[in-house]
Amino acid sequence: RKEVEQDPGPFNVPEGATVAFNCTYSNSASQSFFWYRQDCRKEPKLLMSVYSSGNEDGRFTAQLNRASQYISLLIRDSKLSDSATYLCVVTPNTGGFKTIFGAGTRLFVKA
């Protein structure tokens, strides 16, 4: 089993749709969780951290379920500019070197 697993997609959604991505992780000692966004042939950019109580940033909501070892990202009112690959990132409590990047979920938002 991979340490971090994501559905590769692609997810094809119309503008204005709500779309959700899930990510599962295998290391129960994992402590920090992030979502990154990567545009085609560009570097990954931090989208948001994921907190135990769940957190929201505008149209984006991230949630963590430690018992089931998964995190999720919800995008409301999708925009064309949301088209990208979304990477799930998991770090144990021993520092950043063992950070694991998921392979990413591809999202296409169409007009």
Partner 1 sequence: EAGVTQSPTHLIKTRGQQATLRCSPISGHTSVYWYQQALGLGLQFLLWYDEGEERNRGNFPPRFSGRQFPNYSSELNVNALELEDSALYLCASSRRDGSNQPQHFGDGTRLSIL
Question: DSSP 3-state assignment of 56?
Answer: strand
**For partner 1, which residue of 22, 32, 55, 72 counts as binding (CB under 8 A)?**
32
Q: Does 10 bind partner 1 (CB under 8 A)?
A: no
Measured CA to CA, the distance from residue 34 to residue 47 in angstroms comes to 8
Provide the greatest CA pair distance for the chain: 44
Rounded to the nearest whole angstrom, what is the least distance from the CB of residue 102 to partner 1 in the complex? Answer: 7
The strand pairing partners of 106, in sequence order, are 85
**For partner 1, which residue of 1, 28, 67, 97 counts as binding (CB under 8 A)?**
97
Q: Does 89 bind partner 1 (CB under 8 A)?
A: yes
Question: DSSP 3-state assignment of 98?
Answer: helix
**Contact residues: partner 1, CB under 8 A:** 31-32, 34, 41-46, 49, 87, 89, 91, 93, 95-99, 101-104
